[in-house]
Structures are given as C-alpha cells and as structure tokens.
Structure 1
Amino acid sequence: MSVRVLATTVDELAPRTAYDVWRLRQQVFVVEQDCPYPDLDGRDLEEATRHVVLLDDDGSVVGTLRVLDDGVAARIGRVVVAPAARGRGLAALMMDEAMALCGGREVRLDAQTGLTGFYEAYGFEVTGPEFDEDGIMHVPMRRPAQIP
C-alpha cells in the first residue's frame, strides 16, 4: 500500500476527508487513549492552520497532524496514525511535511513522554517538566528557529 501526503487548509479538504480526519482523531485520542477532551477546539478553522493528511490507495485517511501559527512560533499537534497503519514510518512522513511547512521558524509541540526520542531526531529539545494532559504524560518540546 502506498500513501499520498496532502498538506492543505481546512477549506480545501474534501468534506469526506475532513470527516475522516476528525473521526481518526476521535478514534485514537478519545476512544483508544480514553481521553475525552474537546478535540474540535476551533483551531482547525484558523486561516493559517495547515492539515497534513496521509491518504492510502483508496483515499482513506491513515494519518494526520496539524500545524498551527502561534505567532512567535509554529505549533505541531494532533499527530495521529491509524492503528492498522502503525509501524510503517508514516508519522515520519507527516513530520517531514510539517517541518517543511514550518521552514526555519521556531516550532513547539507537546510530546507524549514516550515519543521524545522521535521528536529529538527533528531537532526538538525538552523545554520543561513532564505534565499530565488528559491522563497521558507529556513534555513541552521546542525546535529553535533555524538560521540559514
């Protein structure tokens, strides 16, 4: 199975693709990880937000993340791969695209503690103490601005 990477605004997402993105986030974050939280927080709709979506051969969403504009820095979040598609390096494909979208800007994210090594490979460093977010331990991470 091959995947296609789509990087777009919410307005450019086909309605069924948008539905599948939010369904996947709900399936993993709310159901699988048992973290009821307000996923639809309004930030998906912001003009500067970019959605990175992985589509398999039949157009099904197998992964997604979003890149937000937090003013001084970009913020990567809602990184998720469908359970049936894990272990194939798809998160790295999405991160490669996200980092390209961020360019040389400072980038921040809150990583699940067990994934800090994954993000360190992209130049991120832990910037604060571990914290509990919806029952899952996270750490704040930052990749400094890249000067050409």
Structure 2
Amino acid sequence: MNIKVKSFNKLTVNELYAILQLRSEVFVVEQNCVYQDIDFKDQKSLHVIGFKDDKIIAYTRIFKPGDYFKNASIGRVVVAALERKHSYGHNLMKASINAIKENFKSDTITISAQKYLQKFYESHNFTKVGEEYLEDGIPHIRMDRI
C-alpha cells in the first residue's frame, strides 16, 4: 500500500468520489449506521490515503489542534473489508500519526474511537479517557496519545 497525504483542494474529483464511496461502504452500509458523513469538515482536514494498484483502499482524515478537538486528531479511519487481512490499518495509523507530527508539529492526538477497536488503538499508544458514549448509535470512547 502506498500512502499519500493531500489537502482537500489537492484531491482529484475521482479521489474524492472514491474516498466518499469507501466511507459510505464501511460506515453506512457495513456498519448499518445512517449518519451524515458529508459534514463540511473535509475541507479543513488533511487526507491520508492508502492506494493499492491505483485504487483507494484505506483512508483517514487528520486535523490540526483546535479544528476538531483541542488536540490534533484523526478521524474516519477506514480500510476496505477485503484488505483488512493485510494489517493496512496499522500502516495507515502510523502514517496518520507521522503526518500530524510533520504537518502540525504536534505529538498529542485525540480520537473518538469505536469501542470495539480499543485494543487496536492501544497498540498505537492511545489511552482511554473517560466513559463510553454513543455516537451515531455506536459505542465510542475518547482516546488520547501523548
């Protein structure tokens, strides 16, 4: 998997379409969750995109401190279902953390993680903060990486 980091205005129309399709495929269809994915936050984030054979198979969006949480943050973490067996999620998280360090000069990161992925994020040095809560009907937890 090759990873690129792009601002919103540097995304091609086809890349944006593929990103939105992947997010919808996983977050809306696979997780059976009706929610407003297109939230006008994409314009202020950087997009970390995983390509395999010129197809987008993995994605996150990252925010500088203050744009989403007080700290820098990572959101919309997604890997296509057929590609998860390759551990691309770990590569994607490492790239996202590095992109935050390089672009925002920040080591402290906050995420709103789906509860079932707690151990995955703990493997990237995130720690649970506070109590579980529902976001779009799915159990989530706040996690920080300091």
Question: Do Structure 1 and Structure 2 share a fold, with TM-score over 0.5?
Answer: yes
Structure 1 residue corresponding to 2:49, chosen from 30, 49, 53? 53
TM-score of the superposition, structure 2-length normalised? Answer: 0.90
Mean Cα deviation higher: 3-12 or 67-76: 67-76
Per-residue CA deviation, residues 87-106 of structure 1 (Å, 9 max, x unaligned), is 11111111111111122431
Q: What's the CA shift for 1:141?
A: 0.4
Structure 1, gaps ≥5 residues long: none
User: Could you tell me how far apart the structure 1 residues matched to 2:96 and 2:52 are?
Assistant: 18
Counterpart for residue 38 of structure 1: 36
Percent of paired sites with the same residue: 33
CA RMSD of aligned residues (A): 1.1
Higher helix proportion: 2
Structure 1 residue corresponding to 2:6, chosen from 5, 8, 13? 8
User: Could you tell me how far apart the structure 2 residues matched to 1:70 and 1:31 are?
Assistant: 31
Structure 2, gaps ≥5 residues long: none
Moved over 2 A (4+): none
Structure 2 residue corresponding to 1:62, chosen from 31, 35, 57? 57
Kindly tell me the number of residue pairs found equivalent between the two proteins. Answer: 139
TM-score of the superposition, structure 1-length normalised? Answer: 0.89
Give runs of aligned pairs for residues 1-148 of structure 1, distance below 5 A: 3-46=1-44, 49-57=45-53, 59-71=54-66, 72-103=70-101, 104-144=106-146
Mean Cα deviation higher: 118-127 or 67-76: 67-76
